[in-house]
Amino acid sequence: MGLDDDIAILAAAPLFGFLDRDALRLLTFAAERRDLADGDLLFARGDPADGGFVVMAGTIRLAPRVPGAETVRAGRSALIGQLALFVRGTRPTEARAEGSAAVMRITPMLMRRVLEEFPAAAQAVHDTLADDLVGLVTDLDQVRELLEVIDGISSGDSSGGRL
């Protein structure tokens, strides 16, 4: 894969589409690449989350976080571990290659460097993350409202569980 191919794959990944060609070039040159064979472990549940991964080729299978949930498959240009681009934590699931695959690991330090060097991209990333957070809060409010309705029905309280 050449530089132009790598840049196109990164540009199609969530969050990285806001970066201009120079920023994508920096990521391409500075990021760590890893080739995986079928079944190779990318990371295990509980491992330190010290960066995000962009799938450059193949498929990465993410184990369900909770029993009974569906397995998630991430293909080309998928971003795995978006939060780990900005903060360190632990991996909430296991990721393995499904067939041969290639990923690019982007550390928080590299992401910070790119955002410092390209402030317009930093603002676009900030705005996108803020929009995602607003969407999450809206979804959580809807869940709360549903739980309040369910609680009111199950308790037989016509006030919806409020005093």
Range of the domain at 153: 119-163
pLDDT at 43 over 70: yes
d(CA 14, CA 54): 9
Question: Does 28 share its domain with 89?
Answer: yes
Q: Tens digits of per-residue pLDDT, 86-143? A: 988 999 999 999 999 999 999 999 999 998 988 877 777 777 777 777 777 888 888 8
What is the pLDDT at residue 34? Answer: 97
Q: Do 75 and 10 form a contact (C-beta atoms < 8 A)? A: no
Q: Do 57 and 67 form a contact (C-beta atoms < 8 A)? A: no
Question: Does 98 share its domain with 160?
Answer: no
Question: Does 143 share its domain with 85?
Answer: no
Confidence of residue 1 (pLDDT cuts 50, 70, 90): low
What is the pLDDT at residue 158? Answer: 53
Burial of 11 (0-12, 13-18, 19+ CB in 10 A): middle
Question: Does 159 share its domain with 135?
Answer: yes
pTM of the model: 0.77
Q: Do 92 and 47 form a contact (C-beta atoms < 8 A)? A: no
Question: Does 113 share its domain with 123?
Answer: no
Q: How many separate domains does the chain show?
A: 2
Q: Residue 25 in 3-state DSSP? A: helix
Q: For residue 40, what is the domain's CATH number?
A: 2.60.120.10
d(CA 110, CA 113): 5
